[in-house]
Amino acid sequence: MLRRFLSPRFFSSLPFPAPSPIKDNTHLTPLPRLLHLLNHSSTFEHIAQIHGFMLSRGLDADNLLLGNFIHACSLLGFKDYAFSVFERKDQPDIYLYNTTIRSLSKTDSALDAISLFSRIQSVGLRPDTYSFPFVLKVVARLTMLELGEEIHGQIVRVGLRCDIHISTGLINMYSACGDIQHARLLFDEICHRDVVSWNAMVAGYVKVGDMDNAHALFGWMPERNVISWTTMIAGYAQMNRPDEAVAIFRRMQLEDDVEPDEVALLGVLSACAQLGALDLGEWIHGYVDKHRLYKTVPLMNALIDMYAKSGNIDKAMEVFENMKHKSIVTWTTMIAGFALHGLGNEALDMFDRMERENVKPNDVTFLAILSACSHAGQTHLGRWYFRRMRSLYNIKPRIEHYGCMVDLLGRAGFLGEACDLIRDMPFEANGAIWGALLAAARIHDDVELGLQALRHLIEVEPQNGGNYILLSNIYAAHEKWDDVGKLRKVMKDRGVNKVPGGSSIEVDGMVHEFTSRDGSHPCFERIYRVLYEINGHLKMIGYVPRLHGGLLDFEEG
């Protein structure tokens, strides 16, 4: 085969054609033609043939071309081959070192990239303004703070601490390792910040969950790009602050002529799903269709999730059916959507369809299917799926799966079986497990079991007021008002606060939020006047409120 590589006619007869946008590249010299082919290679055969031609013509002596070759190999997943090419190079220069470090950093060989960086000085070379940012990305990815501090020391010693790209790399590294204070100190020392350094610091605050400082810094930015807006939108969505995520998205539309990227759309769709903001979610769907943007599987999955959580399960199913390519996340999201709407049988049918199409479920799929069984009251099927995930798919149940089973069994009244399952778990039960058992005890008026569950809950979640309130409902259902009063006193003594109930509704594209005893809404009086009238109409037609399970007001003095 090597003879074929060495043939003079080899280069003009490579088996993969140039892409259509470049009609004719025969006028190019061998170097540009090789770079062109490298950028459009897709298989190991392509790479091997190009390498053979380079060797036959001595083009491997060109470090620029060799660097591009190494990078192309790594991008295609042939990292071992790429590294072997570098290792065979006699006296590689700093450019080749940097290129190989960068290529390895994007693979599962990140530690090899660090090892290669440490070799630079030992061979008589000096790291430059590209070497440090590349290796700092690896350190950030591996969250190796101690090593990052050592590299920071090297940067100071070689006199590159004022380089904007290196400073930004250090900010990213310290942020990724959780040392946000050090990152901010470095940011404040930069004399001439660019939008990249501003974005790095904002992203650093987002990484550690400090959205208030992220928002303040975002407001001070002299200029913003799509990454600036996307970082804030995604950050608020990930921190379960969907109203702020939507507000930032609207600001982006009004203040900047910036087209949202896929990450921004994913973030705001997640916020819409949390808020039930169907109008905005539909607008985003229309925006994607109109501009033919990002019709990727993750974005379509986000649309399914948004429609399902916003109450339009039919539209979620329409998006699902129109997808040409579906991932396991697509199927799982649709199953979970049916379960959320109480359509347990439809969720089970979807799971059967998924199996018929030879899509292998994962552990999250089984969480959705167990939830569906619970909503459908299919206790027998829930047990069967719980066993099947281990026996057929070799998926080891996590504590979340046990929580689903406790909820399933508890709802159906199999309280003894639920207790046995908790006792036999290979984990220590957490708050979700005991909470599911306490909720089951309330449903079936089992005061003793509720007390037992609460004792465990107080141990693992001593400040969660919801646990006390659930038990209070059990006491109230049996008219044990003295015990309800004692619970209130325990909450006061321990400083446990009742979390106020809340709800939200979208009207004309605006999300309105309401919490218990909050009279701040501008239409507060009108809303309560309408509610009072509705209550009067209900009484007139004979409705009697259920007071048997009433809850003593924990906020009264």
Domains within the chain, CATH numbers bracketed = 224-325 (1.25.40)
Q: Which helix (H) or strand (E) holds 228?
A: helix 226-238
Whole-structure pTM value? 0.70
pLDDT-derived band at 172, boundaries 50, 70, 90 = very high
- Choose among 113, 120, 116, 180: nearest CA to 145: 180
Give residues with Cβ within 8 angstroms of 485, minimum separation 6.
552
Say what the pLDDT of residue 292 is.
Answer: 64
User: Which residue has better confidence, 7 or 116?
Assistant: 116
Say what the pLDDT of residue 293 is.
Answer: 60
Burial of 417 (0-12, 13-18, 19+ CB in 10 A): middle
Say what the pLDDT of residue 261 is.
Answer: 84
Give residues with Cβ within 8 angstroms of 477, minimum separation 6.
442, 445, 548, 549
Say what the pLDDT of residue 500 is.
Answer: 60
DSSP H helices in 341-430: 344-356, 363-376, 379-391, 399-412, 415-424
- Choose among 461, 460, 462, 465: nearest CA to 497: 465
Please state which of the ranges 69-83, 202-216, 274-288, 387-401 shows the lowest mean pLDDT: 69-83
pLDDT in tens, 397-423: 999 999 999 999 999 999 999 999 999
What's the average model confidence in pLDDT over 277-285?
A: 86
Q: Which helix (H) or strand (E) holds 255?
A: helix 242-255
Say which amino acid occupies 129: T
Eight-class DSSP state of 61: G
- Choose among 131, 120, 82, 136: nearest CA to 104: 82
Say what the pLDDT of residue 21 is.
Answer: 35
What's the average model confidence in pLDDT over 67-73?
A: 80
User: Which residue has better confidence, 295 or 228?
Assistant: 228
- Give CA–CA dist 43/163, Å, rounded: 38
DSSP 113-178: HHHHHHHTGGGT----TTHHHHHHHHHHHHT-HHHHHHHHHHHHHTT-TT-HHHHHHHHHHHHHTT
pLDDT-derived band at 18, boundaries 50, 70, 90 = very low
Say what the pLDDT of residue 145 is.
Answer: 94
Q: In residues, how long is the chain? A: 557
Please state which of the ranges 26-30, 130-134, 144-148, 326-330 shows the lowest mean pLDDT: 26-30
User: Which residue has better confidence, 290 or 8?
Assistant: 290
Give residues with Cβ within 8 angstroms of 402, minimum separation 6.
421, 422, 425, 427, 433
User: Which residue has better confidence, 451 or 200?
Assistant: 200
Answer yes or no: are the C-beta atoms of 463 and 496 closer than 8 Å: yes
- Give CA–CA dist 364/1, Å, rounded: 48
Query: For residue 38, how many other CB atoms are within 10 A of its CB?
Result: 19
What's the average model confidence in pLDDT over 139-154?
A: 93
* Helix, strand, or coil (residue 381): helix
- Give CA–CA dist 167/132, Å, rounded: 10
Answer yes or no: are the C-beta atoms of 431 and 464 closer than 8 Å: yes
pLDDT-derived band at 59, boundaries 50, 70, 90 = confident
Q: Take residue 215 and report the two structure tokens written for it.
A: 């928002």
pLDDT-derived band at 541, boundaries 50, 70, 90 = confident
Say what the pLDDT of residue 455 is.
Answer: 81
pLDDT in tens, 500-539: 656 666 565 566 666 666 666 777 778 778 877 888 878 7
pLDDT-derived band at 380, boundaries 50, 70, 90 = very high
Q: Take residue 142 and report the two structure tokens written for it.
A: 């591996």
Please state which of the ranges 135-139, 469-473, 530-534 shows the lowest mean pLDDT: 469-473
Say what the pLDDT of residue 295 is.
Answer: 73
- Give CA–CA dist 196/184, Å, rounded: 14
Mean pLDDT, all residues of the chain = 82
Say what the pLDDT of residue 5 is.
Answer: 36
What's the average model confidence in pLDDT over 456-474?
A: 77
Phi first, then psi, for residue 507 (nearest 5°) are -130, 120
**Above 50 in pLDDT, residue 20?**
no
What's the average model confidence in pLDDT over 72-84?
A: 78
**Above 70 in pLDDT, residue 256?**
no
pLDDT in tens, 341-374: 989 889 999 999 999 999 999 999 999 999 999 8
pLDDT in tens, 79-118: 788 788 887 888 888 888 888 888 877 777 778 888 889 8
What's the average model confidence in pLDDT over 386-394?
A: 92
